[in-house]
Structure 1
Amino acid sequence: MRKIGLQLYSIQSEAEKDLLGTLGKVSDMGYDSVQFAGLFGISAKEVKKVLDSTGLTVAGAHIPLDRFSGEALKIHMDEQIVLGNDLMIMPYLTEEQRQSIDDYKRVAETLNEAAFRSKEYGIRVAYHNHDFEFYKLEGRIPFDVVFQETDPELVKMELDTYWAKYAGFEPEELLKKYKYRCVSLHLKDMATKDDKKVSTVAGSGILDMKGFLKLADEEKINYCVIEQEYFEENPLLEVEKGVQNIKALL
């Protein structure tokens, strides 16, 4: 059966207070893997001990753009090897980092260089989208620019289903267009709250989670990872409902 992971950013406040204890809670919920968004000062060796004791595997790590070069990149790669992680993901661009198409080209160059370096470590590099990459800039779609300007053999994709749909693009079509580039799929569901689109408990919104899981198998996507950013109840309770919903679809 396909493994389902949790992006720990979903429960960032819990992870920041007690990362090791939170890993145990995530395992007890029924998750098979976790995707990191920082270790909050805990050593990779300590984290790895808890991963081993709980049986959790690693489904990638989000690393800020400014850590994808120089000595910072080597430090992160060494850390990922200890964790047993084979995927480093650039998760977000600040407004200052994405003012022009040339900015996106520079991002692509950074990812190309990082992916070339990380290849010898057995670590892949990927780009994670939000909605802004899908809005035209200087007559072009920045999302396309990133993947046209990066080496398809080296730089991969983590497709966020919610943000693609939020911007008016169909995740299924993007997966077909960029065949084999996607190695990680963010199962982020969508609902409407006070006339606004918000993320919601995975499997309880309007997006076709079952269809995404089927496509993930067809396209041989390595990781399916639940992420949620908006909560109406306790985040721990909602992400537990999410994994229950998704596993019921498998």
Structure 2
Amino acid sequence: MKIKNLLLAALVFSAGNNLLLAQKGKQLFPEMPGMVSYTYRSSLSKNTAVTLDTLKGLGIKDMEFSSLFGKTAAELRKLLDERGMKCSSFGVSYEQALNKTKEVGENAKTLGAKFVRVAWVPHKGAFTVQKADSTIADFNAIGKKLKDEFGLTFCYHNHGYEFEKHEDGTLMDYIIKKTDPNYVSFELDILWAFFPGGDPAGLLTKYPTRFKLMHMKDLRKGVEGNLSGGTPVTNDVALGTGQLDIPAILKAAKKSGIEHYYIEDESPSYATQVPQTMAYLKSLKK
């Protein structure tokens, strides 16, 4: 009897350990994140349909488009529908969002997007508090119109220059605090938060409900950042091979309000780096 009891106890202990290992071994991304169209901008411009086939073959189902690539929104939507893919976010310029809000909203709805995103505020020299104030007013107006007329959520994508010091934080903090959360949300580009000296994971923890979208990209080792909002595209590297602490950022993101994750790789080596990034994401465990 004692031997049977010991065997039973051993089996229970083993099963418990296996369950714990299985839980620890759960993938952080059981399904692949989406893709920013800018990664495949050259290919999409030449042959949109074939490029979408390539992306589908990689397991990509969700797209953020920052261009219609010479097509109408309806034509692009048809290509997505035929492949069982979707567009969740539509990126436009500041000028388009401000002065062509109705057209932007109509295109976003046709694409099936829930979000409209702007990634750059036109400015000369350093980004100032005066520029931030006018930006805040514009964002609140754009966001209200998109929400009220189209049911869309407006998001601003940081680009680095907003991390100028201001009071006890940065102008990025200032913009987040001063914009109306009913009408303005944010897309965190983790490289463009890290490059100017910011903390991507810290931002998600500090403002857990304001960020709805995320661009996942990594910065080449040895590259020093600044507040310019620009760096050579060759400094984009596959996730997990650069300077950013990707696991820490993604763990913070999973506790935040992020709804869509997108891979972005601006480098000319995207064809080889994107598969590396995807393999890395598949290897990450909770």
In the superposition, the TM-score normalised over structure 2's length comes to 0.78
Q: Which piece of structure 1 moves more, 210-219 or 180-189?
A: 210-219
Partners of 2:89 and 2:114 within 8 A in 1: yes
* Structure 2 unmatched ranges of 5 or more: 1-29, 226-234
Cα deviation, residue 140, structure 1: 6.8
Paired position in structure 2 for 1:213 = 250
Paired position in structure 2 for 1:202 = 239
Compared with structure 1, are the counterparts of its residues 171 and 127 closer, same or farther at alpha carbon in structure 2 (3 Å cutoff)? same
Q: Give the one of 197, 201, 204 matched to 1:168.
A: 197
Paired position in structure 1 for 2:177 = 148
Q: Distance in 2 between matches of 1:125 and 1:97?
A: 26
Partners of 2:218 and 2:237 within 8 A in 1: yes
Q: Give the one of 72, 82, 96 matched to 1:67.
A: 96
Partners of 1:5 and 1:34 within 8 A in 2: yes
Q: Give the one of 169, 190, 211 matched to 2:219.
A: 190
Q: Give the one of 28, 33, 43 matched to 2:62.
A: 33
Q: Give the one of 78, 84, 87 matched to 1:49.
A: 78
Paired position in structure 2 for 1:159 = 188
Partners of 1:161 and 1:185 within 8 A in 2: yes
Cα deviation, residue 184, structure 1: 0.6
Identical positions, percent = 26
- State yes or no: 1:91 paired with 2:126: no
Partners of 1:34 and 1:60 within 8 A in 2: yes
Matched residue count = 246
* Structure 1 unmatched ranges of 5 or more: none
Paired position in structure 2 for 1:243 = 278
Partners of 2:210 and 2:257 within 8 A in 1: no
Cα deviation, residue 238, structure 1: 1.9
Cα deviation, residue 8, structure 1: 1.2
Q: Distance in 2 between matches of 1:74 and 1:54?
A: 28
Q: Give the one of 228, 232, 242 matched to 2:265.
A: 228
Cα deviation, residue 37, structure 1: 1.2
Q: Root-mean-square deviation (CA), in Å?
A: 2.2
Partners of 1:30 and 1:244 within 8 A in 2: no
In the superposition, the TM-score normalised over structure 1's length comes to 0.89
Paired position in structure 2 for 1:110 = 138
Q: Distance in 2 between matches of 1:98 and 1:38?
A: 28
- Decide which structure has the larger Cα Rg and report it: 2
**What letter is aligned with 2:264?**
E
Q: Distance in 2 between matches of 1:140 and 1:248?
A: 35
Paired position in structure 1 for 2:106 = 78
Moved over 6 A (4+): 137-140
